[in-house]
Amino acid sequence: MTFVVGLTGGIGSGKSAAADEFAKLGATIVDTDVISHELTRNSGAAMPAIRKLFGPDAVEPNGAMNRKKVRDLVFADPQKKRSLEALLHPMIREESARRIAAAPGPYVVHVVPLLVESPDYRSRVDRILVVDCPEDTQVERVRARSGLSEPEVRAIMRGQIPRAERLAAAHDVIENGGSRDALRNQVAALHQKYLQFASP
């Protein structure tokens, strides 16, 4: 059985940066956000159903999902949000399981933003690793990369489980309020720990 670390954290906490550092050390990364993007890009497996669910406006001229349009639709209508999740989540879970089963690395880092909220994903991982940083840092990072306003970012954060609840579920925590070097050092220490857990 492959040893699986579930990596999670709030928006802007630095999940992708942490995953990149684990990848450099040889871990296999299975990222549900990456899979979601693959399913909703031009010719992605979910696109015919998305066009049917949300109409032609939800599709970019190049055939990919119009993320802004769909985000606006699901924020405004809980039923549409449920429909989108009912479509994408099973596809993402299936593809995640396939990639974990085929993982070549010594262990898997399974990046799941909603890991703590999802009993199904929690049951698939051996340990939960939370990437954490101050909430103001989260807001700054998301604004810098997405162009969203501070109220929009804080609304997304309110839609996620509270930071304290996420930290309470963690076996391991990366404090990511500082430099990339500080992040790299924490990942290197955890990598050694996970190699020991993963070795038979």
Q: What percent of the chain has pLDDT over 90?
A: 93
Are 48 and 136 members of one domain? no
Rounded Cα distance between 196 and 200, Å, is 8
pLDDT digits (tens, 9 = 90+) for 176-190: 999 999 999 999 999
String of DSSP letters for 82-93: HHHHHHHHHHHH
**Mean pLDDT across the stretch 144-162?**
92
Full strand arrangement of the beta sheet holding 4-8: 28-31, 108-111, 4-8, 127-132, 172-175
Confidence at residue 52, expressed as pLDDT on a 0 to 100 scale: 95
Q: Contact, 145 vs 22, CB < 8 A?
A: no
Mean pLDDT over all residues of the chain? 95
- Domain range enclosing 75: 37-95
- The rounded percent of the chain whose pLDDT value lies above 70 is 100
Task: Check residue 1 and give its pLDDT.
Answer: 81
Last residue of a domain, one of 53, 74, 95: 95
What's the number of domains the chain is made of?
2
Within a domain: residue 57? yes
Is 100 part of any domain? no
User: What is the value of pTM for the model shown?
Assistant: 0.92
- 167 and 186 co-located in one domain: yes
For 53-93, the pLDDT digits (tens) are 999 999 999 999 999 899 889 888 999 999 999 999 999 99
Extract the tokens encoding 65: 């999902």
Using the CB atoms, write b or e for 59-71: b if 16+ within 10 Å.
Answer: beeeebbbeeebe
Tell how far CA 169 is from the center of its chain: 16
Q: How confident is the model at residue 161 (pLDDT cuts 50, 70, 90)?
A: very high
- Does the residue 32 lie in any domain? no
From the list 171, 154, 128, 151, the residue with the least C-alpha distance to 15 is: 128
- Structural domain contains residue 138: yes
Question: What local confidence, expressed as pLDDT, does residue 200 receive?
Answer: 75
Q: Using one digit for the tens of pLDDT, what is the confidence trace for 89-127?
A: 999 999 999 999 999 999 999 999 999 999 999 999 999
Query: Do 77 and 128 fall into the same domain?
Result: no
pLDDT at 159 over 90: no
